Amino acid sequence: MTADSGTAPADFDYLVQPHRVHRRIYTDPQIFELEMTRVFAASWCYVGHESEIPAPGDFRTTTLGLRPVLMTRGRDGAVNVLLNRCTHRGTVLAAEASGCAKRFVCPYHGWTFAPDGQLVAIPFPADHAVEDHSTLSLGRLATATYRGFVFATLNAEPEPLDCWLGEAREAFDAIVDRHPGGDIAVMGSPHLLEFVGNWKLSWDNAADGLHATFAHESYNTLGEMVDTETVLARDPGTTPMVSKALRNGHMVVDQRPGIPQGPWATMRRVPYREPLENALIDAGDESLLDLATGSMINLSLFPNLLFVGNQLLVIEPVAVDRTRLQLWLTSAPGAPPEIDLLRLRVDEDFVNFGTPDDLDMFERVQRGLSIPEMEWIDMSRGLPDSAAPDGDATIYGPITSEAPQRRYLAHYAKLMTTPTATRAL
Amino acid sequence: MTVAAARPPGGPGAEMPAAQAAVLARYDELAALLAGMDDRPGADPGLTAEAAPVLLHEARLLDAGRFEDWLEGWTSDAVLWLPLSAQAHPGTDQSLLLDDRRRLAERVDWRREPSAWGQHPPSRTTRVVGSIEAWAAADGLVARSSLLIDEYRHGRHQALAGYQIHELVGDGLRRRTKILVVPALGTGVRNPSFLL
């Protein structure tokens, strides 16, 4: 079950240059196909959170580089990430988004698998030539967790997850540790939003500190109408907010230095805010209100997980010009219940008055990139980068710098030019 | 399960402030209205006939972009709720939106902002309201209707279907509650900011 990811269809030294990138990486179906293996199968990808599958048999489905995958909790309590494909004829086993199953029975011919992927029964076994069922278990991905977040990869020789996260662990820990007891959970039923554009457009946007001033002008105007300075309304040229370009394509925008009055002060009055806010204040828990909105650290773990506000934004490529965004909301089980009740309404705020602008920009860019005579996307803002001698250290810049985009794309180009064996265990 | 019963703030025995209890009660009311819809008996013909022009008028205002006029038709304690599934609860599950009267007004302001790129240029929509049923409710009626929304924007087209539940109250049958269920929200839709 080893696949060679083949030869590169393009010269990535040419397509991804330090100051500009070629439109083809957003429009070429062959490049997209190679990305699904060299980027998505070969990297660690976020699959889900342990809190979504608390009991043995609980499962959730998603895709990893277009491959249907299944995250399960085994009878032994261990988390498994499996290929959602019957080893008989290839039927997708679990069609539901989530559920609980003692066994996964293939609807086509009745092959039956345990939640850990072991083949436990074949109908009419006497007819069957294969006696050793262990060779017919579901394909399994290498799986590792960090702070309850489950990552998986098909890379035959994956870097340990901790090493792959590297410097990103500092922001990751800060996001988790702000929750009382370090206890963070993920609510079910994500928003699923699609756009007609390449998945990298959402990645380019994730650490783009400049677009907030222009693309999100209407969000900031809504704030001004009620004398609220939203986090996106700060002057990007002078704010002390910091962007960081990390190893392995990870990125951070740390907005905390730019909002000395704290996260909650940046929020408009969401529905039913006052009764819940007053209840917390009366209980002496006013300091917890910051938990109702985001950490003000945007952390992006390449290639598919963005921490934005209290959301996990999972990037799911569908086609070269089609992307699905899964927006999951995190909860704070160790905080008073008012926090999660407020989070639900805060969550809708940007989804309604900010995200539509981003989706529109992604689709506009994809349309513009269809023009063959205009080949290049400029990413030179903030050059030269102050790279450390070993090339691995974090690059810091003002949030107007395009260093995070440059650096993730350099990592991307490296992945795309490195044939990596991928396999199911 | 109700939020008010399941999640007493301040721990067991603590008394919940009345204002907060009212919020949770409203959430529970919304979830119950949605969850109980399929158990209702056949509709009241007279009330159905009363509800129809109100629902059709709303659809016409929205398709015409007459959002300020549309806003006038809501009560002061109004809620517009777009859950992500028919099993959702506004106090425990993400929603596309749950607007009180204040956020409804903000939404209309947002639609008028020239820099609200997600709706500028605006979606052109055509709503088809059908299968209207209505039943008696306190101070008015509850109506369920099917809804097709055809959207055209940036040279692209999407068609969504779903159903809506209206609680219409008082002499003018003003909207106190509207729940719009669009199953496609659970599978992936393009920029849904035209949905109201």
User: Is B23 part of a structural domain of the chain?
Assistant: no
Cα dihedral B40, B43, B48, B54 in deg (nearest 10): 10
Q: Which residues of A touch B112 (CB under 8 A)?
A: none
Strand ranges (E), A206-258: 242-245, 251-254
Q: What is the pLDDT along chain A (425 residues), one digit of tens a residue?
A: 445 445 556 899 999 999 999 999 999 999 999 999 999 999 999 999 999 999 999 999 999 999 999 999 999 999 999 999 999 999 999 999 999 999 999 999 999 999 999 999 999 877 777 778 889 999 999 999 999 999 999 999 999 999 999 999 999 999 999 999 999 999 999 999 999 999 999 999 999 989 999 999 999 999 888 888 888 888 888 888 989 999 999 999 999 988 888 899 888 899 999 999 999 999 999 999 999 999 999 999 999 999 999 999 999 999 999 999 999 999 999 999 999 999 999 999 999 999 999 999 999 999 999 999 999 999 999 888 876 555 556 788 888 899 999 999 999 999 999 999 999 99
* Cβ–Cβ below 8 Å for A194 and B190: yes
Whole-number pLDDT of residue A390 = 57
Residue A256 token pair? 């905390």
For residue B124, the enclosing domain spans: 42-186
Report angle CA A56, A59, A62 to the nearest 5 degrees. 160
Q: Which residues of A touch B85 (CB under 8 A)?
A: 189
Q: Please indicate whether, in this complex, the C-beta atoms of A218 and B107 are within 8 angstroms of each other.
A: no
> Number of folded domains in chain A?
2
CA R_g for chain B: 17
In chain A, residues with a C-beta closer than 8 Å to the C-beta of B116 are 218, 353, 356-357
Predicted confidence at residue A233, as pLDDT, reads: 81
| Domain-embedded: residue A258 | yes
Tell me which chain A residues have a C-beta less than 8 angstroms from the C-beta of B196. none
Provide the shortest C-alpha distance from residue B72 to chain A (in Å): 19
Best interface-test mutation with A: which of B7, B23, B76 has the largest number of A CBs within 10 A? B23
ipTM score here?
A: 0.93
Phi-psi sector, A376: left (phi>0), alpha (psi -120 to 50), beta: beta
Q: Which residue in this structure is represented by tokens 């007493």? A: B8
Find residue A105's DSSP bridge partners: A112
E strand intervals along A106-198:
112-113, 119-121, 142-146, 149-153, 185-186, 191-195
Q: Is residue A24 part of a domain?
A: no
User: Looking at the predicted structure, is the pLDDT value of residue B5 above 50?
Assistant: no
Task: State whether B185 and A274 contact (CB < 8 Å).
Answer: no
Backbone angles phi, psi at A143, to 5 degrees: -130, 140
Cβ-defined contact of A356 to B118 (cutoff 8 Å) = yes
Structure tokens at A376: 């290049």
Contact B97 A351 (CB under 8 A): yes
Let me know whether A142 and A204 are in one domain.
no
In a domain, A10, yes or no: no
**CATH classification of the domain holding B148:** 3.10.450.50
């934004």: which residue's tokens? A313
- pLDDT value at position A388? 56
For residues A135 and A226, membership in a common domain is answered with: no
**Which of A91, A115, A146 finishes a domain?**
A146
In terms of DSSP H, where are the helices of chain B?
A: 3-6, 18-35, 45-63, 67-72, 101-112
The answer to whether A188 contacts chain B (CB < 8 Å) is yes
CA distance A298 to A11: 32
Q: Are B180 and B84 in contact (CB under 8 A)?
A: no
- On whether both A142 and A208 belong to a single domain, the answer is no
Cα gap A222→A226, rounded to integer Å: 7
User: Nearest C-alpha of chain B: how many angstroms from A328?
Assistant: 8
Count of other CB atoms within 10 angstroms of residue A343: 25
**Chain B contact for A106, CB < 8 A?**
no
Q: Is residue B31 part of a domain?
A: no
The angle subtended at Cα A203 by Cα A79 and Cα A353, nearest 5°, is: 100
Q: Is residue A23 part of a domain?
A: no
Asked, for residue B2, whether it belongs to a domain, the answer is: no
Question: The domain spanning residue A222 has which CATH number?
Answer: 3.90.380.10
In this complex, is the C-beta atom of A187 within 8 Å of any C-beta atom belonging to chain B?
A: yes
CB-based contact B109 A225, cutoff 8 Å: yes
How many contacts, defined by CB atoms under 8 Å, are there between A and B? Answer: 137
Contact in structure between A269 and A296 (CB atoms under 8 Å)? no
pLDDT at A106: 97
Which pair of tokens denotes residue B89? Answer: 């609860």
Distance from CA of A325 to the nearest CA of B (A): 8
Q: Residue A400 is part of which domain span?
A: 167-415
The reported pLDDT for the residue numbered A230 is 85
DSSP B115-160: T-GGGSSPPEEEEEEEEEEEEEETTEEEEEEEEEEEEEETTEEEEE
> Does residue A208 sit in the same domain as residue A250?
yes
The distance of A302 to chain B (nearest Cα, Å) reads 22
Last residue of a domain, one of A111, A146, A181: A146
Look at residue B13 in the predicted model and tell me its pLDDT.
47
Which among B3, B7, B17 is the nearest to A278, CB-wise? Answer: B17
The domain boundary, picked from A146, A175, A204, lies at A146
Contact B147, B180 (CB under 8 A): yes
Residues 118-157 of A with CB under 8 A from B: none
Residue bearing tokens 């008394």: B15
Which of B17, B110, B118 minimises the CB distance to A279? Answer: B17
Query: Any chain B CB within 8 A of the CB of A360?
Result: yes
Environment class of residue B180 by beta-carbon count within 10 Å: exposed (0-12), middle (13-18) or buried (19+)?
A: buried
In total, how many domains does chain B have? Answer: 1
**pLDDT score at A237:** 84
- Quick one: tokens of A392? 């691995």
Report yes or no on B77 lying in a domain.
Answer: yes
B163 DSSP assignment? E
Dist CA A388 CA A390 (whole Å): 6
Chain segment B82-95, per-residue pLDDT in tens: 999 999 999 999 99
pLDDT of residue A387: 61
Is the CB of residue A356 less than 8 Å away from at least one CB of chain B? yes
B117:A282 CB<8 A: no
Q: What is the dihedral of CA A354, A360, A361, A365, to 10 degrees?
A: 160
Classify burial at A230, counting beta carbons within 10 Å of its beta carbon; exposed 0-12, middle 13-18, buried 19 or more: buried
Co-location of A136 and A179 in the same domain:
no
The reply to whether A152 falls in a domain is no
Judge whether B13 lies within some domain.
Answer: no
Phi–psi pair at A89, nearest 5 degrees: -105, -5
Q: What is the pLDDT of residue A372?
A: 96
Strand order in A79-83's β-sheet?
Answer: A79-83, A67-73, A58-64, A98-100
Report A:216-245 residues touching B (Cβ under 8 A).
217-218, 221-222, 225
Residue A279's CB is within 10 A of a number of other CB atoms, namely 22
Which residues are within 8 A (CB) of A193 and not within 5 positions of it... i.e. 6 or more apart?
Answer: A324, A325, A327, A355, A359, B188, B189, B190, B191, B192
Interatomic CA distance for residues A68 and A104, integer angstroms: 15
- The alpha carbon of residue A131 is apart from the nearest alpha carbon of chain B, in Å, by 40
